Structure 1
Amino acid sequence: MDRRRSANPTKLHCTIKLLAVTGLLILFFNIEFNIYGQNWLVRPKLPIEVAIVLLCLAANATWPSFKRVGLPFAAIFLSVGALLHLIDVASSAIYGRTIDLIFDAAQIPHVLELMAVSMGWFIVAPLTLAVLAILAGTVGLFALAARYLGAQMESLAPPAGMKKAVAGLTLLVAAQAVDLTGIVTSTAMASSAPAIQAASYHAKIISLWFDDGRAVVDEYRQQRGEVRDGETTLPRLAGTNVYLIFVESYGASLLERDEHRAVIEGLYDRYDDTLNGNGREAVSTLLESPTYGGLSWLAHLTSTAGAWIDTNLEYRAYLRSDLDTMTQILRRSGYETSLVMPGIQRYWPESRLLRFDHVYTAGDLDYGGVRFGYFGIPDQFTLERIPELISKDRPNFVQLALISSHYPFRPIPPFIEDRTKILDGSVWAPAAEAAGSFTRADWADPADGYIAGAAYSLRAALDFAERHTKPDDLVIILGDHQPWSVVSGNLGGRAAPIHVISGRKDLIACFLADGYRPGLAPKRGEVLYGMDWILQRMVAHFGDRGPAEGCARPFGAAS
């Protein structure tokens, strides 16, 4: 009896330790960032990772033959799962999406360079080392936690009791795997349904990698409406110049906050009046972007290809294929095509795959002024160079990506009111001094910089449409994606505004028929369709197999 009494406290202590460590694991895997409310949440539910680890450790304590693999597997699974959960929560807080293990890792050097230009390597280097230390510490800590739990389990119960625990945990894990228990969490790495979605996403990526994208190219060939690769033309444009201007991070969240909406609607009202006074009409709506917080090129190609392209591997597969984009269709229609990318500062071999007649990057724009932040060239300068770059003898298709509204949104170039001085490099030095330097406070609260940057870029684009395009030209201005969720609060989802401007009433009538609204102000929350429909609807309305006059069937009927 004395021996039993002396043994009981040991088992009680082991039970308390087991429950305490298990509780901490449950707490950790239930921490998530609420991108809608921009706050941290803890959900009191059992994560599937913890259930799997407990199952392995219970089996390890029950069958001696399992010891060689049970504890090592539990330690590796728990530490890697904790690392992924930590990264996934950070990705949700920044990008509003789960992590892409294959592609996002490749972007780390670019992100570090962007931060270094804005903040300096003396801040970024120790910050990077601190992050790496946290990640390494996470792996080590959770591996030790698995070993500690295993030791407590081995001290706890006789094999019969552990076998019951194994049976119960097996049923629990199986139930969570099909999402039947109702006790799973809603974070990407800790609930069965989102975890399955994340696994499916990465299975798709791996399949694309091995297949070299052939399967998805075949799908695109069949799913792009009336686009006929190698054949389609747009004769009803009748030589009208087409300008496709992407505004970086110009997202629907600008319409959701009163202070942001007041700024942006002021621009809408001002330029509605001036455009109408110059014989032009604007129509607008919201479109869903294939990306969020970054990866702008996915939105660019989705808009011009008529296909939904939301991964980098799909992007590369499309460019390596023989499928048309708006560029090839307009070139076949007699246009000279130009791509202007002021954000590209290095050798860019990928540009050949885009198949433009001319590609102008930062070095081709001959900007002689001071740099504004990481990307350097003010959008006003870039737009002012367009008339000098394009053909005077043929109709032009110009695709342009503005970058002054790119994260970190500071410093913002001031708007030069005297347009005759924009191309004078000397005017930008005092302008840069007036704009002020980038501070750490801008990183801590970037929302003010975001609205200033978006308003500047949009104003520059609308000013270009007013001053440098002919009344009959077709100008399409659209946002590529929302800003990071820490700025947008995920308000407006994945939507971005699009504005179509022209003095040709027959062209504008077809966009109105598709559901666009008159004026520059889109209706909040009214997302018409995805960006992949831009080219598809242009082909339906203005293509060689479209109506001789009037417009194609309404969008709903066409879909």
Structure 2
Amino acid sequence: MSLFTRPRQEPLPDADEGRGAQRGVPDSGGGTPAGAGRPPLRFRFRPRFPLRLRLRYPRAARGAGVGVSVLAGVLVFGALLMPNRVERLSVGAFARLPAEGILLAALLLALPARARRIAAVVSGAALGLVTVLKFLDMGFHQVLARPFDLVFDWVLLDDAAGYLKESFGRSGQVLAVTGALVLLVGLLALMTLAMVRIAGLMDRHRHRATRTAVVLGTAWITCVTLGVQIAGVPVATKGNTEFLGNRVEQVWAGLRDAKVFEREAAVDAFAGTPPEELLTGLRGKDVLFTFVESYGRTAIDHPATGERIGTVLDDGTATLAAAGFSARSGWLRSPVTGAGSWLAHSTFLSGLWVKNQQRYRALTGGDRATLTSYFRETGAWRTVGVVPGVRRAWPEGDYFGLDHIYDSRRLGYEGPYFSWTPVPDQFALEAFERLEHGRADRRPVMAEIILASSHNPWVPQTRMLDWDDLGDGSVFDAMAEEGDDPEEVLRDSDRLRAAYRDSIAYSLTSLVQWLERYGDENTVMVFLGDHQPVPAVTDGRGGMEVPITVVAKDGKVLDRIAGWGWTPGLKPAGDAPVWGMDAFRDRFLTAYGTGS
């Protein structure tokens, strides 16, 4: 019982009934048992101290009781109307009539006492879970521009915890995870208690509650019929029903997706192509596929970033032209945005739309050939992976057809981490030159290089150094202590965009300078973004598109893709062709295969 509800009057046993009578035992006279014909006695636990407070301060007790009831109502009403996206939070969002609340009130009024209590507990817990799911949606929309997937996204929570640790330290990770757990448990408990409180209140004021439910139900139907809106928002809503309906549909679609992907993966136009007919137009060339983290269309199109990045790309085009290189650029549509780089990488290399973790696991556990594995299949290239963002074993590397993998531990880097980024891009490219590309006794190399300096949260940042001064990376020590605190930058969208812009400029400059310094007649580089940055940076611009560029000295290499309609230079035009990222593998193999 609540601390501040008025105690009900309970019947007490007569003084002369004795203990036996109190237990329902017949009295010594052998007649009718004492208390026969009376309502059965009900004993309730009533703490003395709260009861004394209520008796001593009745007005305060009644006021507190009303306050608790009001808070319970606000909590339930707010949960029913709360949207699942941050940008939809407004006063107008809560100035509506939720159909689910009216129906739930009617149900609680119609049920008998015991069933009503059970229904209150169950519905309160369910509403708490729905609220937790809405909070998850808010977080996912802020980072990935999509809602939380109940089938595939649980694994991403572990990745998020790892990101927090690398970006904000162990204490930041512990605080964030603890806060999330407290929020989860607190929401479930408070929502359940609030619903029980409201159910009890409705029972004590049944007639008034019934009239209120009828009036609200009539008002809801009227508003739906007349299409009543406030500031363009319908007054009557069934948002939770639609929200849960979409989730059920999402779950079913996710469960069916495995068979859909299996059928798609079984179709490979190049599966029967003899190795000697593959990639004949690139024989003798060093082919580098380089991913620039978070290099999305926003970097070029957004007013806060476009001028600086446009200058970097224009200057880079001129620098490379002076060194004898030419370039062609276009756009690809990534399957992800904000995060999930491995899904974009596998989409690009496999020619399949890898949009979730289930597809990724099915792909890497199967035998679908990738662009990189086709290079290895020819026997004409040594295939390597440079993955400075990887800190532990990466068994998928063998699936992608890589003979050797250089992760963050195998690049010879002894310098500091830059937030999430273990190795600066300039050092990673120099290490690739030292370990593979610059070796005199080597055959042509195909490399997948995944640059990480432009990874969220983009601070602290690195600066370009003289390539001869990089050493073992300890020269970066001072830089890691400079700059703003990541937490402060993440709270300010303008500073966040500036940090993003500068990190992309650094990554692109590293690529241009490496090509200028180490590229030759046999160097072919394909570099692209894996996905757009988080929505706080994109500001709704650019969709899912990322730039892609092919650079080569040998004119014959670019002649083979003349029909693609791509823009000359490192900067794709706004109207350059846009392909799905899954389309690149087959187009590339066709362009550089026998008969092209």
TM-score range (shorter-chain normalised) is 0.7 to 0.9
Are positions 1:51 and 2:99 aligned together?
A: yes
Q: Distance in 1 between matches of 2:292 and 2:124?
A: 47
Q: Distance in 1 between matches of 2:477 and 2:262?
A: 48
1:132 CA drift (Å): 2.7
Q: Which of 389, 394, 408 pairs up with 1:343?
A: 389
**Which residue of structure 2 lines up, in the alignment, with residue 361 of structure 1?**
407
One-letter identity of the residue aligned with 2:106: A
**Which residue of structure 2 lines up, in the alignment, with residue 455 of structure 1?**
505
Are positions 1:421 and 2:464 aligned together?
A: no
TM-score (norm 2): 0.76
Return closer, same or farther for 1:285/1:19 CA change in 2, 3 Å cut-off.
Answer: same
**Which residue of structure 2 lines up, in the alignment, with residue 513 of structure 1?**
563
**Which residue of structure 2 lines up, in the alignment, with residue 5 of structure 1?**
none
1:125 CA drift (Å): 2.9
Q: Which of 329, 332, 336 pairs up with 1:284?
A: 329
Are positions 1:25 and 2:72 aligned together?
A: no
Query: In 2, are the aligned partners of 1:94 and 1:485 still within 8 Å (CA)?
Result: yes
Q: How does 1:71-82 map to 2 (within 5 A)?
A: 71-82=120-131
1:337 CA drift (Å): 0.9
One-letter identity of the residue aligned with 2:86: F
1:184 CA drift (Å): 9.3
Q: Which of 292, 301, 304 pairs up with 2:349?
A: 304
Query: In 2, are the aligned partners of 1:55 and 1:169 still within 8 Å (CA)?
Result: no
Q: Which of 239, 254, 262 pairs up with 1:217?
A: 262
One-letter identity of the residue aligned with 1:507: V
Q: Which of 264, 288, 294 pairs up with 1:243?
A: 288
Deviates most, 198-207 or 86-95:
198-207
Are positions 1:108 and 2:157 aligned together?
A: yes
1:376 CA drift (Å): 2.5
One-letter identity of the residue aligned with 1:470: D
Q: Which of 551, 555, 576 pairs up with 1:501?
A: 551
Q: Distance in 2 between matches of 1:45 and 1:364?
A: 55
Deviates most, 121-130 or 89-98:
121-130
Return closer, same or farther for 1:59/1:430 CA change in 2, 3 Å cut-off.
Answer: closer
**Which residue of structure 1 lines up, in the alignment, with residue 110 of structure 2?**
62
Q: Distance in 1 between matches of 2:360 and 2:553?
A: 34
Return closer, same or farther for 1:308/1:122 CA change in 2, 3 Å cut-off.
Answer: closer
Q: How does 1:32-431 map to 2 (within 5 A)?
A: 32-34=85-87, 40-41=89-90, 44=93, 50-64=98-112, 67=116, 70-154=119-203, 155-157=205-207, 183=234, 190=239, 195-207=244-256, 213=258, 215-222=260-267, 226-228=269-271, 231=274, 233-333=278-378, 334-390=380-436, 392-416=441-465, 418-431=466-479
Q: Distance in 1 between matches of 2:91 and 2:220?
A: 25
Q: Rg larger in 1 or in 2?
A: 2
Q: Distance in 2 between matches of 1:469 and 1:277?
A: 13
Q: Distance in 1 between matches of 2:198 and 2:576?
A: 52
Return closer, same or farther for 1:94/1:184 CA change in 2, 3 Å cut-off.
Answer: farther
**Which residue of structure 2 lines up, in the alignment, with residue 554 of structure 1?**
none
Q: Distance in 2 between matches of 1:431 and 1:122?
A: 22
1:493 CA drift (Å): 1.5
Query: In 2, are the aligned partners of 1:31 and 1:41 still within 8 Å (CA)?
Result: no
Deviates most, 336-345 or 276-285:
276-285
Q: Distance in 2 between matches of 1:17 and 1:425?
A: 61
**Which residue of structure 2 lines up, in the alignment, with residue 555 of structure 1?**
none
Q: Distance in 2 between matches of 1:365 and 1:27?
A: 53
Instruction: Indicate the SS of the match to 2:86.
Output: strand
Query: In 1, are the aligned partners of 2:120 and 2:192 still within 8 Å (CA)?
Result: no
What is the total number of aligned residue pairs between the two structures? 511
1:62 CA drift (Å): 1.8
Return closer, same or farther for 1:163/1:29 CA change in 2, 3 Å cut-off.
Answer: closer
Return closer, same or farther for 1:197/1:373 CA change in 2, 3 Å cut-off.
Answer: same
Structure 2 stretches lacking a partner, 5+ long: 1-65, 226-232
Q: Distance in 1 between matches of 2:71 and 2:164?
A: 43
Query: In 2, are the aligned partners of 1:243 and 1:475 still within 8 Å (CA)?
Result: yes
Q: Distance in 2 between matches of 1:231 and 1:424?
A: 43
Query: In 1, are the aligned partners of 2:285 and 2:522 still within 8 Å (CA)?
Result: yes
Spell out, residue by residue over 1:144-191, the C-alpha distance to the aligned partner (whole angstroms, 9 max, x if none): 33324434544444999899899989999x99xxxxxx95999xx946
Deviates most, 51-60 or 449-458:
51-60
One-letter identity of the residue aligned with 2:490: W
Query: In 1, are the aligned partners of 2:288 and 2:524 still within 8 Å (CA)?
Result: yes
Query: In 2, are the aligned partners of 1:288 and 1:527 still within 8 Å (CA)?
Result: no
Q: Distance in 2 between matches of 1:240 and 1:306?
A: 23
Query: In 1, are the aligned partners of 2:168 and 2:419 still within 8 Å (CA)?
Result: no
Q: Distance in 1 between matches of 2:343 and 2:534?
A: 16
Deviates most, 490-499 or 418-427:
418-427
TM-score (norm 1): 0.80
One-letter identity of the residue aligned with 2:85: E
Return closer, same or farther for 1:159/1:117 CA change in 2, 3 Å cut-off.
Answer: closer
